[in-house]
Structure 1
Amino acid sequence: FLLAASDICTKLKMFGYWADFINPFSGQPYLNPHKNGTLYKTDERFRCLGFKIDKKNSCKLISHENSGTDFI
């Protein structure tokens, strides 16, 4: 999806139109340079990818079911 949507936006921009699309994984505009840098508040969108996001104190731990490693 990301490749196709990005390609369509590029073609529209070549003809002078403004174009962007919503990244289905983040819910944010894909091409907008003013993106919100916060981490996703829910892991519901990532269940199909095997990611899990847990909150421990003030940190968020990201883990994948195939890897025993957590990322902060």
Structure 2
Amino acid sequence: DFSLLTFMAQRKTKQSNVVVGPCPIKNGTEVSVCRCPKQFLREIRHIFPGLDIDESLLALPTAQHSVMDLVNVGDDVESEKDRCLIQFMELGKSLCLEIQARGHWADYIDPCSGLPMMTPDCNKVYSEVDGMQMLLQYQVMNAGPCKVLLHPRWGGAVYPATMFTNAPEDVVLEL
């Protein structure tokens, strides 16, 4: 089993909003724990209307290393995106339920629709690419009308997805 606490001391970053920055968990997936900058919080309040969201909100952006560059097109790329989606949905649901069992709010974003999975009546879309760019300062490139995330080591072979929680940092780091 993996604990973020294990990597906390060695993975502290210079970015003030990043509590713990990219730590491998399993199956080629990295997770970070980030405090949300004020301009980011304004967007998140629209994504989760009705929730009391303040500076204590944590974002848990994840990056899965895909077996191919996801900028490409084709059946094999679509199959890889589906594999990554299923893997994240299982992780997101599991971690959010564990956080909720500890008495805190948590939700994860469906990377396909950009909508929250556990909070009802949300219809504002969250952009995973914009989120990773703002939270972790990852680079992006334009591919036609779309922005594509570029992981610092994997380039376009990355599948980003994010969870959010109001749990204290120590609770999240114990997971």
TM-score, normalised to structure 1, is 0.46
Q: Please state which structure has a larger fraction of its residues in helix.
A: 2
